Structure 1
Amino acid sequence: MDQTYSYRRQEVVVKSLKVEEILERWPALFTPEQINEEFRRCTTIPLESSFMSNLDKHTSKLLTVFSSVGGSRGERLRLQWIELVQNPSASVVRKRDVVLRCLVDYMGDNIR
């Protein structure tokens, strides 16, 4: 993949391919491993571990933001993060899952 990085970049940037065309030509770019590898190759930063450590660092602030939301969205958020308040010994993985689900809902998207 390293040898074809410049070629892929040229194809994506210069030809302005649609996502469907990129997926067809370079399907490996859409796997988690390759996304992480491409990010590391471009920035020298490990994407997933960096993201998760920063998510852990900002979890309490995010929960504060989520708790300030009103209306039906705020109620949905509370139903999700109340589990973390009631169970402070929840695993790190479970905390991340709850915070990411709340974040998606907070941003107005639906993952279900």
Structure 2
Amino acid sequence: YMKERIQFGKPLFKQQYLAFKMAELDLEIEEAKYILYKAAIEKQEGRPYGLSAAKAKIACTDAAMHVTTEAVQMLGGNGYMKEYEIERMMRDAKITQIYEGTNEIQKLILSGKLFR
């Protein structure tokens, strides 16, 4: 969409603000992946992974929600239309923050460990 949509005489991806925003979102996704991989490696190696898993759930679900919200914003009115997949992705991202233990519960787990 950002390559095709022309605004102010150039594609959206050539607008510096949007290009920088995309770079930030890409970085946020990458950071969440590494936190997730750390938890997965700890589990795979048979080490305690509960805290890493809690951190991964928070990081990944918050990143998913933030990235999809920003994507909807970048698409403008099209972001809410069912023809664009981002509308469903945003709804899916929100539910991931809720099921399998809300992010607030994950924060209780983490803070409990920090203050022992």
**TM-score interval (norm. to shorter):** under 0.3
TM-score (ref. length: structure 2): 0.27
Which of 1 and 2 has higher RCO (CA within 8 Å, sep 6+)? 2
TM-score (ref. length: structure 1): 0.28
